[in-house]
């Protein structure tokens, strides 16, 4: 499951609506560091929970959150008011 989350994160960052360099800037990480952390084939780099949350916020992407919730038997329900 860890690898699939990392791969999904890589897809969101590299193929999402915001350019990857913009995502890196929004979350305060050097571009090269971000790319390494989201590389599912780099055994020495890890994607931290804090970075994952920052990526979710920066991209407004919920597929990752939905995938994680579903894997433990939950669903994601949006608030009526979205945080800014």
The confidence score (pLDDT) of residue 82 equals 62
Query: How many C-beta atoms surround the C-beta of residue 76 within 10 A?
Result: 12
Of residues 78 and 14, more confidently modeled: 14
Residue 4 predicted with pLDDT over 90: no
Structure tokens at 24: 């890196």
For 31-69, what is each residue's pLDDT tens digit? 999 999 999 999 898 999 999 999 999 999 998 999 999
Structure tokens at 61: 């992407």
Residue 1 predicted with pLDDT over 70: no
The span from the CA of 72 to the CA of 84, in Å, is 28
The confidence score (pLDDT) of residue 79 equals 83
pTM of the model: 0.85
């Amino acid at each position: 499951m860890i690898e699939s989350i990392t791969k999904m994160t890589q897809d969101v960052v590299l193929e999402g609506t915001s350019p990857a360099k913009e995502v890196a800037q929004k979350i305060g990480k050097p571009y090269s560091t971000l790319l390494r952390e989201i590389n599912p084939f780099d055994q020495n780099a890890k994607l931290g929970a804090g970075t994952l949350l920052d990526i979710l916020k920066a991209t407004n992407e919920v597929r990752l959150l939905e995938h994680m919730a579903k894997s433990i038997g939950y669903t994601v329900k949006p608030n009526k008011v979205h945080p800014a």
